[in-house]
Structure 1
């Protein structure tokens, strides 16, 4: 499974919690949140565009950085 990296404008635990709640709804997705560096890594076979649109639902600015 590819590991996608996203920059997400998170400033607090509430922000990372919102990201976590949204990603938890997706099936077959593993993710890590790095709050200090405002990064989210998602391991998934889903298309990066689908993951990007899902992350945008948390109301934060999101940028796709590529795969690792």
Structure 2
């Protein structure tokens, strides 16, 4: 299981919905928690997904990732 935290530039609920949709459609994602006010995204995955997999998926949503870190790998 992996837990990852990202600071993502999101200006509105449409932005957070775009990130949420991309992540929830990614096979292996167990949970997504987005806080628009804090511009944070917390993702829990099964062992098949790496930090880079999750990071690249957020970037593909069109949003800029300012920083990220692995909580549990």
* TM-score normalised by structure 1 residue count: 0.89
What residue in structure 1 maps to residue 18 of structure 2? 18
What residue in structure 1 maps to residue 58 of structure 2? 55
Contact persistence 2:33–2:43 (CA under 8 A): yes
SS of the residue 1:3 aligns to: strand
Superposed structure 1 runs of 4+ greater than 2 Å apart: none
Contact persistence 1:52–1:64 (CA under 8 A): no
Alignment of 1:1-68 (within 5 A): 1-29=1-29, 30-44=31-45, 45=47, 46-68=49-71
Counterpart CA distance in 1 for 2:57 and 2:2 is 17
Contact persistence 1:6–1:40 (CA under 8 A): yes
Contact persistence 2:10–2:16 (CA under 8 A): yes
* TM-score normalised by structure 2 residue count: 0.83
Across the aligned residues of Structure 1 and Structure 2, the Cα RMSD in angstroms comes to: 1.2
Measured after TM superposition, the shift of residue 24 of structure 1 is 1.5
SS of the residue 1:53 aligns to: helix
